[in-house]
Amino acid sequence: MDIKTYMQQLGRQARQAGREISKADSGRKNDALLKIAAAITEAGAELAGENRKDLEAGRANGMDAASLDRLELTPARIGAMVEGLKQVAALPDPVGEISNLGYRPSGIQVGQMRVPLGVIGIIYESRPNVTVDAAALCLKSGNACILRGGSESIHSNRAIAACIAKGLAAAGLPEQAVQVVETTDRAAVGELVRLQQYVDVIVPRGGKSLIERISAEATIPVIKHLDGICHVYIDGKADIDKAVAIALNAKTHRYGVCNAMETLLVAESIAPTVLPVLAEKYAEKGVELRGCLKTCSLVKQAVRASEEDWHTEYLAPILSIKIVADIDEAIDHINTYSSAHTEAIVTEDYTLARRFLREVDSSSVMVNASTRFADGFEYGLGAEIGISTDKLHARGPVGLHGLTSLKYVVLGDGHIRQ
Amino acid sequence: MDIKTYMQQLGRQARQAGREISKADSGRKNDALLKIAAAITEAGAELAGENRKDLEAGRANGMDAASLDRLELTPARIGAMVEGLKQVAALPDPVGEISNLGYRPSGIQVGQMRVPLGVIGIIYESRPNVTVDAAALCLKSGNACILRGGSESIHSNRAIAACIAKGLAAAGLPEQAVQVVETTDRAAVGELVRLQQYVDVIVPRGGKSLIERISAEATIPVIKHLDGICHVYIDGKADIDKAVAIALNAKTHRYGVCNAMETLLVAESIAPTVLPVLAEKYAEKGVELRGCLKTCSLVKQAVRASEEDWHTEYLAPILSIKIVADIDEAIDHINTYSSAHTEAIVTEDYTLARRFLREVDSSSVMVNASTRFADGFEYGLGAEIGISTDKLHARGPVGLHGLTSLKYVVLGDGHIRQ
């Protein structure tokens, strides 16, 4: 079978299974999630064995240490997958929830029912745990999914897929509700993102280049997260202790994550007080500082930042720092250079906090909290399939609700339009 | 200035004005809407004069009577535009509304704030009143807009645009929050739908071919409404009077509208009772009936329907009728042939009503009510910019909420991630 025919077949099967799964009640879906968890626990040794094949192939192909680490399914990671399934099972079922049902002057009742999107295509890189996480969220939200992981993890993914199929079957749900693309041929991705008839939305998870390529090729809507150029603005009325704690946490808690701060903005009036303290703490952590002219005159460790720096997501122990006149310049800088992921203000000023919340156009906007909180678990979504920097449909961390939409329901008693 | 440069300039101006308008408080936006209404009332004679130029050009170009009618700005239509502006001013302002703000275990508060999308591009055909309706909805929802009406109505649109600019200026808002494309060159549309940097979403309003062309060309998300192949299913447990009233209203209340019924499905058990009654009433109204084999044997007026009929949005006094075994066959037919606009069941059976609501995958699903209710005003949205048959972002009638998105707001007191 050629790739096109194969992908069409997956699509047709997913559409059919999606109709079944959209009708499944919460108890059955939760039962499936727990049975998948049991199947994974039982298959521990087998999963490790299949994963070893991927690791060996990776080493033979000269994969770097960081990639090998991401690829590895340690017992702790298998345990985390099982735990994740149980957590998703424990979340409330969003499907079928009716909101705002009220009577209209005509006598009809109108409300909105939360419904699955249908079929989700997920394209990701080498972490095999994404296979389980994504399947769990799609299943709970009543969607079928087609999962295309990195070719480096094909053995691991196939073994995980077998556990998922086992759990679905044991719960009496169609196995084809979760399908893993069985070929490593790259053409499969090109086909998947054009299966308009069968796939309702594509969620790419991975680096910026993967996501840009998929967005350019897709004829299906894409829920995407490009990059996280996050800002913290320390206002003139900031509490110094809070400012230092937040600016340090936002940059140094973890470097390679999308919600880490990349640029620090500091009000001119407070810069001489706060920047030298911060610079010393950053120096202890080995963070390289790149500043505007004024920053460099206050902070001896800083080198001059270029225009390029304001546009850069370092994902590394590097920070760009700009001294601004006031909140207007800060908001203007953010709305110009930010990737609309997450921004925070540190201030004790009520009016400025209120302005920042309203005027900063990003998916998460914070007052006196670290940008590192921008995360599905921290927000109480339970789990996330990604963080959307788009404005339409889902913005910010995307959990179960982001995989659903709202249809109108109308109840009448023989009502006709006059 | 060439078209590309011109459209880039409109885009840049719109982005700038969008930032201003997104911050404007509700009072100022309402004031602008009322001042636009006053400007239109004052300019009545001038609007009629400019409209006459379009009508004369239309007649000279051999425009048909229906198109000329759509183009005409009668005093009643000008009055309706003014009334529409007042109604939008009276709607609650969705911008800035914060929902679900609650404490998380970490101590931060997390909620979602409703925010404008930014800049909306609206592409429509000859009705000049769309210029005012669309501008009002965009303005109230805090968005800037770029409006591209049909070239046939260019004089009318320019005159309306002048009134809008006057109202905006009088309320102290940037005139460029609403810009009408001043050229009739078709290339302007191609540029508009690719202004990714400056335009956040495109809303096409018009016939299916316009919308398909724009969707194919656009590199910006499109909120679209393709067609309305709406179904009514008369179940075996239907109340005959309600069934007849609804099936008649859904087809004959207006023919050329997207929420009119195009296909009637009837349960086999009730068909001999209900179809002959209905057929007579349809005959009185001059509705042509095209039926399946079983329908034709019950209804002498019916001719045989072809496969093509089940796929057709007639927008005319034609109805296709199919007799089905039960609700399963009805839902299966709907989920296969429907354009996912609006479907209704007529039944007194509680369990079947509940199933229909859950399992029919359309933007509006109704029990014992006419499909003609699928409309922003009837649903209480106040006004609509269109009816979306997409699943992502906005589904069904799109009012002010559909022109906004939700960003996360996080409130802390120096909180950092552990």
- Say what the pLDDT of residue B224 is: 86
- Say what the pLDDT of residue B325 is: 98
- Say what the pLDDT of residue B334 is: 97
Q: How confident is the model at residue A216 (pLDDT cuts 50, 70, 90)?
A: confident
**For residue A64, what are its two tokens?**
């770097």
- Say what the pLDDT of residue A324 is: 98
pLDDT 10s digits, A180-197 = 999 989 899 999 999 999
Q: How confident is the model at residue A42 (pLDDT cuts 50, 70, 90)?
A: very high
A110 touches B at CB < 8 Å = yes
Contacts of B22 in chain A (CB under 8 A): 359, 361
- For chain B of 418 residues, list the mean pLDDT of each consecutive stretch of 10: 95 96 96 98 95 96 91 93 95 96 96 97 90 96 96 95 97 97 92 95 89 89 89 98 98 95 98 98 98 97 97 96 98 95 98 97 97 94 88 93 96 96
Q: How confident is the model at residue A226 (pLDDT cuts 50, 70, 90)?
A: confident
Closest Cβ opposite residue A357 in set B113, B362, B369: B113
Name the CATH topology of A230-376.
Aldehyde Dehydrogenase; Chain A, domain 2 (3.40.309)
* One-character DSSP codes across B347-402: -S-HHHHHHHHHH--SSEEEEEE-GGG-SHHHHT-S--SEEE--SSS--EEE-TGG
- Rounded to whole angstroms, the Cα distance separating A6 from B232 reads 37
- Say what the pLDDT of residue A409 is: 98
Helices (H), B141-179: 154-170
Give me the half-sphere count of Cα atoms (radius 13 Å) on the Cβ side of residue B179. 26
Strand (E) or helix (H) holding B36: helix B26-42
A8 touches B at CB < 8 Å = no
Q: Which of residues 182-221 of A touch B (CB under 8 A)?
A: 200-201, 221
Contact: A415, B369; criterion CB under 8 Å: yes
* One-character DSSP codes across B12-35: HHHHHHHHHHHH--HHHHHHHHHH
- Say what the pLDDT of residue B209 is: 86
Query: Is the distance from CB of B264 to CB of B247 less than 8 angstroms?
Result: yes
pLDDT 10s digits, B77-122 = 999 999 999 999 999 999 999 999 999 999 999 999 999 999 999 9
Closest Cβ opposite residue A117 in set B106, B391, B406: B391
**For residue A265, what are its two tokens?**
């903005």
Mention the CATH class of domain B3-223+397-410: alpha beta
Is A194 buried (19+), middle (13-18) or exposed (0-12) by CB count in 10 A? middle
Which chain B residue has the Cα nearest residue A249? B416
pLDDT value at A225 more than 90: no
- Rounded to whole angstroms, the Cα distance separating A156 from A125 reads 13
Q: What angle do CA B232, B237, B241 make, to 5 degrees?
A: 65
pLDDT value at A389 more than 80: yes
* Mean pLDDT confidence for A218-241: 93
Right CATH number for B230-378 from 3.40.1410.10, 3.40.309.10, 3.40.50.2000, 3.30.1330.10? 3.40.309.10
pLDDT 10s digits, A102-121 = 999 999 999 999 999 999 99
The ranges assigned to domains in chain B are: 3-223+397-410, 230-378
